[in-house]
Amino acid sequence: MWKLPSFLARTLTSGTSGLPLLPDMAEVRSRLREIVGASTNWRDHVQAMQERKALHTLLAKRQEDLPPRRMKDSYLEVILPLGSQPQIREKYLNVYNSVRFGRILEDLDSLGVLICYTHTKQEAQPRSPLSIVTALVDKINLRKKVVHPDCDIKFTGNVSWVGKTSMEVKMHMLQLHDGDYCPVLDATFVMVARDPENKRPAFVNPLIPESPEEEEIFKQGEMNKLKRIDFSTASLLKMAPTAEERNIVHDIFLNTLDTRTVSFRSRVLPPNSVWMEDAKLKGLQICHPQERNIFNRIFGGFLMRKAFELGWATACSCGGSRPFIVSVDDIMFQRPVEVGSLLLLSGQVCYTEKNYIQVRVHSEVYDADTREHHTTNIFHFTFISENEVPRVVPKTYGESMLYLDGKRHFAATMKEI
């Protein structure tokens, strides 16, 4: 099931003798700061961003002016030495003595950006004129329920598809067991390139597949793009539910009517069920400079970690036992989060089936001056609980749309895994 281009497969099976030479996540973040000229001192960020304006002259006028790249040109391996360097273990440890998935999301986000900078690097220029940011987490599928906190982890990845100004990155996480690296998760991110001031789109190097294997991977990237367009077009925020979905909603409504009173308003909760309005949690984060990215906005990995942790707590509260993450999909970064923002997070169980829990986390920023709320992200998480969970039941039409949207995401996840 775990398919990689042949040059990547050879690298992964070449043994572990070269492990000490692999960069770690600290080096990944250090490289990113060097590439864009970001300062580690918050007080210097304005000057650093001003200096980037001079890089506008290095931008390509057309994509055809940029040299094409191969998949292996952007391939990177990074080590997370949880086994060989116990001093970093606590940052990744959770109360169940396994690895915090939220921390893994942060690492994947940083690595995905570095892979794209590797794809677009100009040998003669130490600093890149591009501002590369995460646009979308297309999917992350887990292969193991538990990630051990005392075994080394290796991340690998490369650019797998390129548009005019966007790049798809495929990444894999493996963990060392008995001398071999075993796959733990597969992730697909979409990154976009913008100008040095992060205001307008910028062209990126085209990607040339070198084998039938790579052509298939590239073609899959194009299909992923079309699937995202189709999914967005059929969104319940734009289109009415299908006939089958309307019947599902009506059946739920009929099953919750109080038979003793012939009234549309009198509702009764069926056995082993929970009202959707009672299956949600909320949180708030003050976005401090410590959580900024290399462009002095809040780091996307931090947003994903906080959303995941709220989603996990929401699933735990609903299911009554420890949930395990199965899949993450369709995380759209709709607008950046500025340093100093008040970030409001709302976790909602949208759909349950047997011991699966589908959670949607909505994040928005609150502007204290204008008193306006602006959506920044929507996160979708699929969890599996140790026990069978109650059925979540919508009451209102809006909740019914959330229910159907959750059902769609769950069905897509089950088909994928």
Check if the beta carbon of residue 276 is closer than 8 Å to that of residue 357. no
The dihedral sign for the CA sequence 192, 196, 198, 199 = negative
Task: Give the per-residue pLDDT at 1.
Answer: 37
| DSSP label at residue 64 | G
Q: Between 1 and 232, whose confidence is greater?
A: 232
Percentage of the residues of the chain whose pLDDT score is greater than 70: 94
| 14-18, 30-34, 106-110, 349-353: range with lowest mean pLDDT | 14-18
Closest CA to 144 of 109, 172, 170, 183: 183
Task: Give the per-residue pLDDT at 2.
Answer: 46
Task: Give the per-residue pLDDT at 304.
Answer: 96
Mean model confidence pLDDT for the chain: 90
What's the rounded Cα separation, in Å, for the pair 287 and 115?
Answer: 26
pLDDT over 90 at 38, yes or no = no
Check if the beta carbon of residue 166 is closer than 8 Å to that of residue 192. yes
Task: Give the per-residue pLDDT at 229.
Answer: 85
The average pLDDT across 280-302 equals 91
The whole model's pTM is what?
0.90
Q: Which pLDDT tens digit goes with each residue over 46-67?
A: 777 778 888 888 899 999 999 9
Task: Give the per-residue pLDDT at 371.
Answer: 86
Q: 142-170: b or e for each residue (b if 16 or more CB lie within 10 Å)?
A: beeeebbbebbbbbbbbbbbbbebbbbbb
Task: For residue 245, give the 3-state DSSP assignment.
Answer: helix
Closest CA to 116 of 67, 63, 157, 58: 157
**What is the widest separation between alpha-carbon atoms in the chain?**
79
Supply the DSSP string of 262-297, one letter for each residue: --SS-B-PPTTEEEGGGSEEEEEEE--GGGB-TTSB
Q: Between 356 and 38, whose confidence is greater?
A: 356
Write the secondary structure of 30-57 as one string of H (helix), E (strand) and C (coil).
Answer: HHHHHHHCCCCCHHHHHHHHHHHHHHHH
Which domains does the chain carry? 25-232 (3.10.129.10), 239-415 (3.10.129.10)
The average pLDDT across 95-117 equals 96
Q: Which pLDDT tens digit goes with each residue over 317-336?
A: 999 999 999 999 889 898 89
Q: Between 116 and 22, whose confidence is greater?
A: 116
| DSSP label at residue 390 | P
Q: Which pLDDT tens digit goes with each residue over 401-410?
A: 999 999 999 9
Closest CA to 77 of 164, 167, 152: 152
Check if the beta carbon of residue 105 is closer than 8 Å to that of residue 308. yes
> For residue 136, which phi and psi values (nearest 5 degrees)?
-160, 140
Closest CA to 165 of 199, 140, 138: 199
Closest CA to 385 of 327, 326, 306, 311: 326
Q: Which pLDDT tens digit goes with each residue over 150-167?
A: 999 999 999 999 999 999
